[in-house]
Amino acid sequence: MKRIGRFTLLTENRPYIETFAAVAGKREHEGPLGHEFDYCYDDTTLGEDSWEKSESRLQTEAVQRALQKGGLANEDIHYIFAGDLLNQCISSTFGLRSLQIPFLGQFGACSTMCQTLAMATVFVESGAADRALAVTSSHFCSAERQFRFPLEYGGQRPPTSQWTVTASGAAVVSQWGNTTKLSTAPVETVENYPVISAVTVGRIADLGVKDANNMGAAMAPAAAQTLVDFFSDTKTVPTDYDLILTGDLGQVGTKLLGELLEPYDICLGNLHQDCGNLIFDPKKQDVHAGGSGCGCAASVFCSKILREIQQGVYRNVLFMATGALMSPTSSQQGESIPSIAHLIHVTAQH
Amino acid sequence: MKRIGRFTLLTENRPYIETFAAVAGKREHEGPLGHEFDYCYDDTTLGEDSWEKSESRLQTEAVQRALQKGGLANEDIHYIFAGDLLNQCISSTFGLRSLQIPFLGQFGACSTMCQTLAMATVFVESGAADRALAVTSSHFCSAERQFRFPLEYGGQRPPTSQWTVTASGAAVVSQWGNTTKLSTAPVETVENYPVISAVTVGRIADLGVKDANNMGAAMAPAAAQTLVDFFSDTKTVPTDYDLILTGDLGQVGTKLLGELLEPYDICLGNLHQDCGNLIFDPKKQDVHAGGSGCGCAASVFCSKILREIQQGVYRNVLFMATGALMSPTSSQQGESIPSIAHLIHVTAQH
């Protein structure tokens, strides 16, 4: 591992994503990526008797499917890094408690998929683990009642609000040399391994945004800061990459990110895509400013994106998820919304 | 870094605790360790207008004092690992947002001090960081109103309940060779450096305990499991160490831990101490089964214990903090309490 610049780590042992899976809910199934997920639940309860248990179940399922697709047993995983949006991260702790894998709970709000992948990368790169699993989730119904209103209340949603994605994504980061039977795509089409080449951990940013119905605006400053840090540390420019993927900035945050990067002469242009804009069809699905939640970035990255890296569609991807680090209590006390963005650089290696 | 057994990492580059600090509240000041803390606040509000802001302030203060004592600036710290008990870990995110240090939020409930130290150790040992800071906190008033009842309600507390400690502890883990001006004790008495020699990350344990007023009982199974894992991996026995320190099992959990270890022929005897039993005087202070909260283990370890390791009182310490990974919502839904325990082995090196 090599530190370059102030904030970036370059890996030297080519830790790679050996297997991955994503599961999602009904509305996600009906969206443009519905066919990309390993499994979709058309019953939003997943057969459980509370929304929190439904969300826990999403994580259990994503992890089990990722392990199964990779032909791995629980004991093949040395550490599991997991987190979610619910108070005390109960989707993760209850969803994963039976696995008997050493567990390190992470809290990065909607940045969690990048944070868990970054942690797994450092552990695998350093030899602390042969394999480490990264997973997160969100569920529309558990998030609504915890962060906003009970569903039964039927509150109006402003145009800047985003729709929490019901989904989970899981990925196993492995040391090069681990037996690899990539069954996530037919074997003949898997020509590339998604290698995590660099990690940039974000600093907390806070431009004073207080509107809890405008998460995109709260998170855009963190996204801009981490991108500027990464480009500066690596002395690269956006056109050195073929995809710059953010987690859930949505339409409002995406526009703002572009504006915040202008003073730095950084133009992402068409290279930028946002999982929150990809997962739903804004014309057909009434989701206002796009998708959000830990499960948004997780499910899009751990399905379509990783598969397309395997297939060689993308060879050089920046994946950066952003998180709003507030709680309903801090908002009620008039506080602004601190946010954070963590970034990983994924390259397709033959 | 070397993996031994199934769950334990041995360090090879002697990552050590370069500087540390602890701050605490009024009741902690009045307890037997009152003189050990760097600063105590006799105003429980810390001059803030909400309990959550008071708790955030504890973290800000502990970090600033640790940096100051070590003669370090913010930019000397490559990563900060922090977490707490509040929903969405707002004590950490708000308390540390102005530092501009790459931030990785951790959730391990009351195991957080060991979890953050374990993460900092892996990052420093692997060369991902020159220095990494570990910090956590708890506050009686913010915890009571979030997890139990508003203070004004004056709810009765059962004898098994513990008293959440108002405190924060912070420690900087550094690569050997960093400039060391240990000012935590007069220079002439600092003869030893606390080196983190091993880390054992816990698995989630759940024996079905459902009583949210008996955290000691819920966490003891995780403590027993991690100790058994560590002794088995390292082929050592309790008498190889001169202190086995747990975080906040309190009186009930301490007794139960002894019983759970009996079938493994492991007897901790007088080697075992618990921060929850040390921080208050059970005869003079009405705290029922002892102290608890992330800040309990953090403030005891980052004051008296680390100082005594520097002074050579202890040369070989196992420090293990335990966490109950539930939320009020999971308890209201009738769920049992999953728990976890992470362990670090600290040796005094000349």
Q: Domain check: are B163 and B202 in the same one?
A: no
Rounded CA separation A302/A322 (Å): 16
Q: Pick A122's closest partner by Cβ from B6, B9, B126.
A: B126
* Residue B345: predicted pLDDT: 98
pTM: 0.96
Which one of B113, B142, B174 terminates a domain? Answer: B174
Taking the mean position of all CA atoms in its chain, how far away is CA A210? 23
* Residue B190: predicted pLDDT: 66
Using the Cβ of A237 and the Cβ atoms of chain B, whether some distance falls under 8 Å is answered with: no
Residues of chain A contacting B326 with CB distance shorter than 8 Å: 88, 90, 93
* Residue B180: predicted pLDDT: 53
Task: Extract the tokens encoding A303.
Answer: 């399905």
Which one of B119, B146, B174 terminates a domain? Answer: B174
What mean pLDDT do residues B196-203 have?
Answer: 98
In a domain, B146, yes or no: yes
In a domain, B186, yes or no: no
**3-state secondary structure at position B63:** helix
pLDDT in tens, B122-173: 999 999 999 999 999 999 999 988 988 878 888 888 888 899 999 999 999 9
Please give the residue of chain B at the shortest CA–CA distance from A52.
B330
Residue with tokens 């969100």: A138
Task: With CB atoms and an 8 Å threshold, state whether A325 touches B90.
Answer: yes
pLDDT over 70 at A10, yes or no: yes
In a domain, B179, yes or no: no
Using the Cβ of A61 and the Cβ atoms of chain B, whether some distance falls under 8 Å is answered with: no
Residues of chain B contacting A327 with CB distance shorter than 8 Å: 86-88, 90
Using the Cβ of A150 and the Cβ atoms of chain B, whether some distance falls under 8 Å is answered with: no
pLDDT in tens, A256-277: 999 999 999 999 999 999 999 9
| ipTM, interface predicted TM-score of the complex | 0.96
How high is the mean pLDDT of chain B?
Answer: 94
* Residue A150: predicted pLDDT: 79
In a domain, B182, yes or no: no
Higher per-residue pLDDT: B232 or B190: B232
pLDDT over 90 at A188, yes or no: no
Pairing of the two strands A316-324 and A339-349: antiparallel
Q: Domain check: are B86 and B217 in the same one?
A: no
Rounded CA separation A55/A10 (Å): 34
Q: Which of A45, A84, A93, A136 to mutate to test the interface with B (most CBs of B within 10 A)?
A: A93
What mean pLDDT do residues B281-307 have?
Answer: 94
Using the Cβ of A4 and the Cβ atoms of chain B, whether some distance falls under 8 Å is answered with: no
What mean pLDDT do residues B304-315 have?
Answer: 96
Share of chain B above pLDDT 90, in %: 86
Number of domains in chain B: 2
Q: Domain check: are B109 and B212 in the same one?
A: no
Residue with tokens 């690992």: B81
How high is the mean pLDDT of chain A?
Answer: 94
Lowest mean pLDDT among A23-32, A145-154, B89-98, B164-173: A145-154
Task: Extract the tokens encoding A232.
Answer: 């500066």
pLDDT in tens, B53-66: 999 999 999 999 99
**3-state secondary structure at position A141:** helix
Rounded CA separation A165/A296 (Å): 5
Pairing of the two strands A8-10 and A39-40: unpaired
* Residue B176: predicted pLDDT: 87
* Residue B177: predicted pLDDT: 75
Using the Cβ of A143 and the Cβ atoms of chain B, whether some distance falls under 8 Å is answered with: no
Pairing of the two strands A8-10 and A193-200: antiparallel
Task: With CB atoms and an 8 Å threshold, state whether B122 touches A128.
Answer: yes
Nearest to B124 by CA among A122, A54, A161, A111: A122
DSSP state of A255: H
Rounded CA separation B215/B201 (Å): 20
Nearest to B165 by CA among B149, B141, B146, B145: B141
Model confidence band, residue A180 (pLDDT cutoffs 50, 70, 90): low
pLDDT in tens, B21-37: 999 999 999 999 999 99
* Residue B18: predicted pLDDT: 95
Task: With CB atoms and an 8 Å threshold, state whether B52 touches A115.
Answer: no
* Residue B189: predicted pLDDT: 56
pLDDT over 60 at B186, yes or no: no
Q: Pick A105's closest partner by Cβ from B6, B101, B106.
A: B106
Please give the residue of chain B at the shortest CA–CA distance from A130.
B3
**3-state secondary structure at position B50:** coil
Q: Domain check: are B228 and B322 in the same one?
A: yes
Residues of chain A contacting B108 with CB distance shorter than 8 Å: 104-105
**Hey, CA dihedral for B300, B304, B306, B308, is it positive or negative?**
negative
Rounded CA separation B52/B143 (Å): 9
Using the Cβ of A5 and the Cβ atoms of chain B, whether some distance falls under 8 Å is answered with: no
Q: Domain check: are B126 and B208 in the same one?
A: no
* Residue B213: predicted pLDDT: 85
pLDDT in tens, A295-327: 999 999 999 999 999 999 999 999 999 999 999
Task: With CB atoms and an 8 Å threshold, state whether A107 touches B201.
Answer: no
Task: With CB atoms and an 8 Å threshold, state whether B203 touches A330.
Answer: no
Model confidence band, residue B115 (pLDDT cutoffs 50, 70, 90): very high
Q: Domain check: are B75 and B163 in the same one?
A: yes
CB contact burial A269-291 (16+ within 10 A = b; e otherwise)? eebbbbbbbbbbeeeebebbbbb
In a domain, B46, yes or no: yes
Task: Extract the tokens encoding B85.
Answer: 């008990």
Share of chain B above pLDDT 70, in %: 96
Can you give the CATH number for the domain in which B74 is found? 3.40.47.40
**By residue range, what is the domain housing residue B62?**
2-174
Task: With CB atoms and an 8 Å threshold, state whether B204 touches A1.
Answer: no
**How do the residues of chain B divide into helix, strand and coil, expressed in percent and rounded to 5?**
40, 25, 35
Q: Domain check: are B137 and B268 in the same one?
A: no
The distance of A334 to chain B (nearest Cα, Å) reads 11
Chain A, chain B: beta-carbon pairs less than 8 Å apart? 170
Nearest to B346 by CA among B294, B300, B301, B304: B301
Residue B3 burial (10 A CB sphere; 0-12, 13-18, 19+): middle
Using the Cβ of A3 and the Cβ atoms of chain B, whether some distance falls under 8 Å is answered with: yes
pLDDT over 80 at A178, yes or no: no
* Residue A266: predicted pLDDT: 98
Q: Domain check: are B77 and B218 in the same one?
A: no
* Residue B22: predicted pLDDT: 98
Concatenate the DSSP letters of all residues of A31-50 into one string.
STTGGGSSEE-SSTTTT-SS
DSSP-H helix ranges across chain B: 26-30, 51-70, 90-96, 112-125, 140-147, 215-234, 250-261, 275-278, 294-300, 306-310, 328-332
Q: Pick A203's closest partner by Cβ from B103, B109, B204.
A: B103
Residue with tokens 């710290």: B77
CB A300 within 8 A of CB A33: yes
pLDDT over 60 at B8, yes or no: yes
Q: Pick A107's closest partner by Cβ from B9, B83, B329.
A: B83
Q: Which of B1, B76, B88 to mutate to test the interface with A (most CBs of A within 10 A)?
A: B88
pLDDT in tens, B317-332: 999 999 999 999 999 9
Q: Domain check: are B139 and B242 in the same one?
A: no
pLDDT over 80 at B70, yes or no: yes
What mean pLDDT do residues B292-297 have?
Answer: 97
Residue with tokens 């819920």: B218
Q: Domain check: are B151 and B223 in the same one?
A: no
**How do the residues of chain A divide into helix, strand and coil, expressed in percent and rounded to 5?**
40, 25, 35
Q: Domain check: are B33 and B135 in the same one?
A: yes
* Residue A148: predicted pLDDT: 83
* Residue B118: predicted pLDDT: 98
CB A303 within 8 A of CB A33: yes
DSSP-H helix ranges across chain A: 26-30, 51-69, 90-96, 112-125, 140-147, 215-234, 250-261, 275-278, 294-300, 306-310, 328-332
Using the Cβ of B193 and the Cβ atoms of chain A, whether some distance falls under 8 Å is answered with: no
Q: Domain check: are B163 and B203 in the same one?
A: no
Residues of chain A contacting B88 with CB distance shorter than 8 Å: 85, 87, 107, 109, 325-327, 330
